[in-house]
Chains A and B, each alone.
Chain A
Amino acid sequence: MSFLGGGIFSGMAVTLRNFVGSYFDPDRLTTNDYSWRPEGQLPQSAGEYPREEGEQLSDTTTVTNYSRNFPMLLHDGGDNPMDAIRCVACQICERECPPQCIYIEKDYDENGKFIKRPAVFDIDISVCMGCQICVEVCPFDSIVMNSQFELSTPNRFDGLLLHRGDLLKSNDYYHRIHPEEAKARDQRMAVEKAAKEAKKKAAAEAAKKKAEEKARAEAEAKAQEETGDKEEEAQ
């Protein structure tokens, strides 16, 4: 506006529009109110934090289906999660982690033979930056990102060190929090598994065929020998 003080008036008009609009237009009031739950209870405090698997504070969280916070280990269900754990303690994620926040110890059975699972799997979440590199390099799809953020604890040292039991979550939980990513991952795993089976079957077929050929070749050789012997005998 060109009259004296016009810029100030146009500024005031914008502010008034926002003031009035904040009562009617949701785009003009961007506050999200997450302090009270719908049924009137406050969020659980640190001491009562549940350690059950799959617990998600779903009605006050602001996370979307895409956000990531800290890692978690996957298992494929069942009564004993440790039977279906996917991690084989290959320690690739421990090596590739930029801030070196993962600590893994392999599990050995009574005879000292290496069982393919971790005995100790610790992540220090005061160090972890949530960069997701461990997820990318894992060849077994066993570590993925969780989006839980209510992790406060009154213990500054041990409280922020998550152990294997805290990190183990089921594949169903993964589907609940990251549905698209979990579905894509399952599909890819199924495709790879099918390819591996097909390759194994083809290899088995090839091996069978080779074995048959070998047997046939041996039979032929033996037959030739016998005919050779017979010829020798005849001579």
Chain B
Amino acid sequence: MSFELVVAILIATVPLLAIFPSLFALTTWLERKALARIQNRRGPNKVGVPCTRIGLFGLGQPAADGIKMLFKEDIVPKGADRLFHLLAPILALIPAMLVLCFLPLDFSFLAVWDESVAKDIKAVQGFALDGAVIFFFAITGINTLSVFMAGWASRNKYSLLGGMRAIAQMISYEIPLVLSAVVVVMMVGSLNAKEIADAQVGWNWFVFTPWGLAAFIIFFIAALAETNRSPFDLPEAESELIAGYFTEYSGFKFALFFLGEYISMFAISGLAAVLFLGGGEGPGVAGYPWLAVVWFLAKIFSLIFVMIWLRGTLPRLRVDQLMAFAWKFLLPLSILNILVAGFAHFIPQGNVVAKVAVWMVSLGILYAAAKGLNGLSRAEVKPREYKYAQ
């Protein structure tokens, strides 16, 4: 292990550990302000510079919340399994942070003083693995284990039932998630995150193709369900009868659960940006390599903003409707998407007319399938007309 290698490893990993938790703090602030503005109110705007009256638009609020969480008493229910009670939030956080290294954020531009260090950095970065996407899905699967641990270790039958529901939700939505990523992998021919990002150079993003658009929408919906965000936030909601799996957690462990949830939100948005939105591509990247990091973070943040926007708009789905949506709608649709993608790829598209025709046919098939599946699985729900009496 030469000294340069150690420096390369540090430069590859430490910026991730520095950026993403501070982005987490920024995201909690952004979520509260954005939700408030949607609801015609202001959000936090008083907590700014400590001991003064300067409220920097409430940017001190995440710090204040963190300090409060640290000072809270750590209550473990009597008779609960202490080891697993402690282990569950940690296990919620570690996979989320681990998975961040598979995102194609190239920090080799930081090694401005030595070429060989830059080469070493490029070699140790995780997205250069040949199976990066597979590793991503494998490690996010550990989240379900932590949810189960949390539900079991609380010694509360309602937490256990809530945890079971959460696991069922997360497992069901992993399949459409993976299948919509499979489409992109099939098109590129490699699981390497860097190659997938490079295949979308310029404006050839996969989201602009019909099968890519469908896959992106399915991926996004499944991502909302994976991270337990609205409208799939059944495990977190209090107005459901059965409490969530982290009811018995207080203080810093609770904060760790939220940290894990938000960082997995970042990770999944990052993967969506890589797979569909070009991951780092944008105007000006050729000249300035550090712009790739900026564009990547911008794409992640726009996806996060859409997640917050959906949270403010939509009510919650009921458990059985949630499961029916995953198994009877998203799953057949994602399988069909793979077939359509193959069809669109292997039919020769010499001129523009053929290209447009192929695209329209693909879109038509996907839309008809979606409508058909919708009508098949759910009861007839539509707005009604009402009569009046005089």
- Whether chain A touches chain B in the assembled complex (some CB pair under 8 Å): yes
A12 and B310 form a contact (CB under 8 A): yes
A31 and B309 form a contact (CB under 8 A): no
CA distance A8 to B371 in the complex (A): 15
A22 and B309 form a contact (CB under 8 A): no
Q: 1/0 per residue B357-386: CB within 8 Å of A?
A: 000000000010011001000000000000
CA distance A14 to B313 in the complex (A): 9
From A16, which residue of chain B is reached at the shortest CB distance? Answer: B309
Residues of A1-48 contacting chain B, CB below 8 A: 4, 8, 11-12, 14-16, 18-19, 22-23, 28-31, 33, 35-36, 40
Set A14, A23, A31, A36: member contacting B53, Cβ < 8 A: A36
Q: Using Cβ atoms and an 8 Å threshold, which residues of chain A touch B371?
A: 4
CA distance A40 to B53 in the complex (A): 8
Q: Using Cβ atoms and an 8 Å threshold, which residues of chain B touch A35?
A: 46
B40 and A22 form a contact (CB under 8 A): yes
Known: A4-B370, A35-B46, A40-B53. A30 touches B314 (CB 8 A): no
B124 at the A/B interface (Cβ < 8 Å)? no
Q: Using Cβ atoms and an 8 Å threshold, which residues of chain B touch A28?
A: 40
CA distance A23 to B42 in the complex (A): 10
Known: A4-B374, A22-B37, A30-B40. A15 touches B313 (CB 8 A): yes
B34 at the A/B interface (Cβ < 8 Å)? yes
From B312, which residue of chain A is reached at the shortest CB distance? Answer: A15
From B41, which residue of chain A is reached at the shortest CB distance? Answer: A31
CA distance A11 to B42 in the complex (A): 21
Smallest CB separation, B20 vs chain A (Å): 26
CA distance A195 to B374 in the complex (A): 81
B67 at the A/B interface (Cβ < 8 Å)? no
Q: Using Cβ atoms and an 8 Å threshold, which residues of chain B touch A23?
A: 37
CA distance A69 to B371 in the complex (A): 59
Interface size class on chain B is: 10 to 19
B38 at the A/B interface (Cβ < 8 Å)? yes
Smallest CB separation, B224 vs chain A (Å): 12
Q: Using Cβ atoms and an 8 Å threshold, which residues of chain B touch A12?
A: 309-310, 313
Specify the main secondary structure of chain A where it touches its partner. helix
CA distance A14 to B312 in the complex (A): 11
CA distance A40 to B310 in the complex (A): 38
Smallest CB separation, A60 vs chain B (Å): 15
Residues of B281-307 contacting chain A, CB below 8 A: none
B38 and A19 form a contact (CB under 8 A): yes
Q: 1/0 per residue B59-89: CB within 8 Å of A?
A: 0000000000000000000000000000000
CA distance A80 to B374 in the complex (A): 82
B374 and A15 form a contact (CB under 8 A): no
CA distance A48 to B37 in the complex (A): 37
CA distance A38 to B155 in the complex (A): 53
B37 and A11 form a contact (CB under 8 A): no
Q: Which of A4, A16, A19, A36: most chain B Cβ within 10 A?
A: A19
Name B residues whose Cβ lies closer than 8 Å to a Cβ of A.
Answer: 34, 37-42, 46, 53, 309-310, 312-314, 367, 370-371, 374
Q: A16-B309, A22-B38, A36-B53 are in contact. List 12 more A-B contacts (CB 8 A).
A: A4-B367, A8-B314, A15-B313, A18-B38, A19-B34, A22-B37, A28-B40, A29-B40, A29-B42, A30-B41, A31-B40, A35-B46
Offer 29 A-B interface pairs, CB within 8 angstroms, sorted by A: A4-B374, A8-B313, A8-B314, A11-B314, A12-B310, A12-B313, A15-B309, A15-B312, A15-B313, A18-B37, A18-B38, A18-B39, A18-B40, A19-B37, A19-B38, A19-B309, A22-B37, A22-B38, A28-B40, A29-B42, A30-B40, A30-B41, A31-B40, A31-B41, A31-B42, A33-B42, A35-B46, A36-B53, A40-B53
